[in-house]
C-alpha cells in the first residue's frame, strides 16, 4: 500500500520549499537591516527618530497588503501573485542599495514591504494546500526554522557586510533566495486563468480607508515628537484624518457587502484576547529589535559587525527551541506556554531597565537572549489558542487579521518606543540640569580654577571645554535612563500579557 508521504509529488515539495525561501527572504530583510541601522542613519544624515522610518515604512506597507493577499490570489492566481510579488521585492531590494537619501530609501522600503507582504502568508498557504495531512507538521517545523535561521543569520551577516563593505551590500542578500523562489514557483505551481472581473467587486472604499487611516496614524506617531504633537496643525489634521478613515474602514468591514476581512472575529473571546496579546508581542519584538542596535552604537560605540555578532545569540536560541515547541505542547497546556513565554520575555526586558555606562554586552546581550527564549513559546501556542473554536471558513480572515495585528503592533511599537526614548532623554536632561547650577559644589569641583596657573585667555577656553564635556556626560546619562524607561514600559506590557494569557480558554 502506497503511503501518504509517497503520494506527495516532487512539484509539491518544490513549491513548499520555494515558499520557504520567500519566508526566509522576508524575515531576513527585517533582521539584516537591524545591525546596519546606525550606519544607514549616519550615511544618509538621518537622526535617531528619522531612522525609525526605515523599519516602520516597511512594516506599514506589509500591514496594508497582508489582508489583501487572499483576495489578490482569488483574482490573479497564487502563481502570478508570488511571481510578481517576489520579482518586485527583488527589484526594490536592489534599488534600496542605490538610495541617495533617506526619503528615497523610505519610499523604496514601502514598495519592498508591499511586495514582500505576500510571501509569508502564501508560504504558509502552500504548506496547507500542497502537503498531505501527515506532512503538514513537518512543513510547519520547516516554516518555523526558516524564520529562526533568518533571525540568527540576518544580523551577523548584515553587520559583517556593513563593516567590510557598506550597508548598501546587505540588500543584495535577498537575490539568491529570491531567484530560487522564482524558479521554484515558475516550475512547480500550475498556471491558472485570472479572474479580472472580480476587480469590479473589490472593496475599494475599505481598502482606501485602511491605507489612509494606517498611514495617517503612523505619521502622527513618527512625526508627533518632532512637531510638538498637538501644537502642530499638521499633526492634528493627520490624527483627525486617520481616526475618520479607520472608523470608515471598520464600518465597511462590519456592514459592507464586499468586505475583504472579517473584523467580527475580534468579538470572539479567545481570538480577541489573543489578538491583543499578539499586537503587544509585535510591538515589543519589533520595537526592541530597532532600539537595541541604536543603543549599542549610540552609547557604547559598537560598529555594525559588533552589533551583528551581539545579536547572533538572539536568533540561535529561537533556532534551537522552535522545533521543540510542538512536542512541548503535548505536555503543557497551550495557555501555560503562552503565559510562560510572555513572562520570560518580560524578564528579559526587566534586565534592561537599570542601565549604566558599562551596560553593553554584560546586560543588553543577556536581555536579548532571554527575550529570544520566550518568543518560540508564544508564537505557536498563541496561534493555536487564537483559532480555537473557529470554523475552516473563518481561517483565512483569522490568519490575515492575526498577522496584520502583529505587524501593526511592530510599527506602532517601533514608533512609540522611539518617541519614548527621545522624550524621556529630554526629561532626564532637564532634571539633571536643574541640579547643576553654577553654585553646585559638584560642578565647581569639575571646573578649572582661576588661580595663578591660568592666564585669562587660557582659563576661559578650559572652562568652556569642561562644561562641554559635562553636557555630553549629562546627555549620555539621560539616554541611558531613557532607554531604561523604554525597557520598563515593555516589561509592564509583556507582564500584563502573561496574566491575560492565563484567562484564555483551551479548546478541545
> Quick check: 1 pLDDT over 50?
no
Angle between helices 269-300 and 48-65 (to 10 degrees): 150
Q: What is the distance, to the nearest Å, from the Cα of residue 494 to the centroid of all Cα atoms in its chain? A: 16
- Model confidence pLDDT, tens digit, residues 441-456: 665 565 555 554 455 4
- Mean pLDDT check: name the lowest of 88-92, 138-142, 376-380: 138-142
CA distances to 61, 68, 196, 197 from 74, rounded to whole Å, are: 21, 10, 9, 11
Residue that is written with C-alpha cell 533571525 in the block: 151
Phi, psi of 355 (to 5 degrees): -100, 145
Contact (CB, 8 A) for 475 and 429: yes
Q: Which of 29, 24, 82 is nearest to 59 (CA)?
A: 29
CA distances to 139, 145, 189, 282, 361 from 129, rounded to whole Å, are: 11, 19, 12, 27, 44
Per-residue pLDDT, 443: 59
Q: What is the DSSP string of 262-300?
A: -GGGGGSHHHHHHHHHHHHHHHHHHHHHHHHHHHHHHHH
Mean of pLDDT values over 60-83: 82
Q: Which three cell numbers stand for residue 124?
A: 504558509
Contact (CB, 8 A) for 261 and 67: yes
Instruction: Look over the chain and give the mean of its residue pLDDT values, rounded to a whole number.
Output: 79
Dist. CA 287–CA 309, nearest whole Å? 19
Residue that is written with C-alpha cell 571645554 in the block: 465
Dist. CA 384–CA 277, nearest whole Å? 13
Dist. CA 273–CA 402, nearest whole Å? 11
**Cα 10–29–140 angle (5° rounding)?**
40
Residue 391 DSSP SS3? coil
Residues in the chain: 508
Dist. CA 210–CA 203, nearest whole Å? 11
Structure pTM? 0.76
Q: What is the DSSP secondary structure assignment for residue 438, as one 8-state letter?
A: T
Angle between helices 10-32 and 175-188 (to 10 degrees): 150
Q: Which of 264, 263, 505 is nearest to 389 (CA)?
A: 505
> Quick check: 104 pLDDT over 80?
yes
Per-residue pLDDT, 243: 92
Highest mean pLDDT among 194-203, 204-213, 405-414: 204-213
- Mean pLDDT check: name the lowest of 30-34, 168-172, 192-196, 368-372: 30-34
Contact (CB, 8 A) for 341 and 385: no
- Model confidence pLDDT, tens digit, residues 455-483: 545 555 655 666 666 767 778 788 888 99
Dist. CA 184–CA 22, nearest whole Å? 10
> Quick check: 428 pLDDT over 80?
yes
- Model confidence pLDDT, tens digit, residues 346-378: 999 999 888 877 777 778 888 888 998 888 888
Per-residue pLDDT, 146: 77
Dist. CA 272–CA 398, nearest whole Å? 11
Amino acid at each position: 500500500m502506497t503511503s501518504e508521504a509517497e503520494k506527495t509529488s516532487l512539484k509539491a515539495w518544490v513549491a513548499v520549499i520555494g515558499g520557504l525561501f520567500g519566508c526566509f527572504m522576508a524575515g531576513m530583510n527585517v533582521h539584516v537591516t537591524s545591525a546596519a541601522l546606525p550606519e544607514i542613519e549616519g550615511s544618509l544624515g538621518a537622526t535617531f527618530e528619522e531612522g525609525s522610518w526605515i523599519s516602520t515604512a516597511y512594516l506599514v506597507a506589509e500591514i496594508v497588503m497582508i489582508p489583501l493577499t487572499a483576495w489578490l490570489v482569488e483574482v490573479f492566481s497564487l502563481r502570478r501573485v508570488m511571481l510578481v510579488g517576489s520579482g518586485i521585492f527583488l527589484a526594490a531590494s536592489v534599488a534600496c542599495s542605490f538610495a541617495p537619501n533617506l526619503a528615497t530609501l523610505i519610499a523604496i522600503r514601502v514598495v519592498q514591504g508591499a511586495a514582500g507582504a505576500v510571501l509569508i502568508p502564501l508560504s504558509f498557504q502552500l504548506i496547507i494546500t500542497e502537503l498531505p495531512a501527515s506532512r503538514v507538521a513537518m512543513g510547519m517545523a520547516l516554516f518555523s526554522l526558516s524564520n529562526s535561521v533568518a533571525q540568527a543569520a540576518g544580523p551577523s551577516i548584515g553587520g559583517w557586510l556593513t563593516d567590510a563593505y557598506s550597508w548598501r551590500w546587505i540588500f543584495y542578500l535577498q537575490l539568491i533566495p529570491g531567484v530560487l523562489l522564482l524558479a521554484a514557483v515558475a516550475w512547480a505551481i500550475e498556471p491558472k486563468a485570472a479572474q479580472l472581473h472580480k476587480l469590479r467587486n473589490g472593496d475599494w472604499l475599505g481598502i482606501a480607508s485602511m491605507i489612509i487611516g494606517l498611514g495617517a496614524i503612523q505619521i502622527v506617531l513618527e512625526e508627533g515628537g518632532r512637531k510638538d504633537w498637538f501644537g502642530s496643525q499638521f499633526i492634528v489634521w493627520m490624527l483627525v484624518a486617520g481616526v475618520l478613515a479607520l472608523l470608515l474602514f471598520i464600518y465597511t468591514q462590519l456592514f459592507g457587502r464586499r468586505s475583504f476581512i472579517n473584523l467580527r472575529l475580534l468579538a470572539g473571546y479567545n481570538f480577541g484576547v489573543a489578538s491583543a496579546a499578539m499586537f503587544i508581542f509585535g510591538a515589543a519584538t519589533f520595537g526592541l529589535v530597532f532600539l537595541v542596535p541604536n543603543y549599542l552604537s549610540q552609547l557604547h560605540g559598537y560598529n555594525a559587525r559588533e552589533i551583528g555578532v551581539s545579536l547572533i545569540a538572539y536568533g540561535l536560541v529561537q533556532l534551537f527551541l522552535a522545533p521543540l515547541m510542538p512536542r512541548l505542547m503535548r505536555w503543557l497546556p497551550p495557555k501555560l506556554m503562552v503565559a510562560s513565554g510572555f513572562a520570560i520575555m518580560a524578564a528579559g526586558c526587566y534586565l534592561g531597565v537599570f542601565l549604566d555606562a558599562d551596560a553593553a554586552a554584560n546586560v543588553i546581550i543577556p536581555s536579548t537572549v532571554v527575550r529570544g527564549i520566550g518568543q518560540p513559546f508564544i508564537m505557536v501556542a498563541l496561534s493555536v489558542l487564537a483559532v480555537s473554536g473557529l470554523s475552516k471558513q473563518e481561517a483565512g480572515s483569522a490568519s490575515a487579521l492575526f498577522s496584520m495585528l502583529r505587524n501593526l503592533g511592530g510599527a506602532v511599537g517601533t514608533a512609540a518606543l522611539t518617541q519614548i526614548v527621545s522624550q524621556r532623554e529630554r526629561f532626564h536632561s532637564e532634571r539633571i540640569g536643574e541640579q547643576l547650577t553654577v553654585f553646585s559644589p559638584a560642578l565647581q569641583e569639575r571646573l578649572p580654577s582661576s588661580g595663578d596657573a591660568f592666564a585669562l585667555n587660557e582659563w576661559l577656553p578650559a572652562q568652556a571645554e569642561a562644561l562641554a564635556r559635562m553636557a555630553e556626560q549629562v546627555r549620555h546619562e539621560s539616554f541611558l535612563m531613557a532607554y531604561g524607561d523604554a525597557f520598563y514600559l515593555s516589561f509592564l506590557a509583556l507582564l500584563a500579557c502573561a496574566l491575560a494569557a492565563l484567562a484564555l480558554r483551551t479548546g478541545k
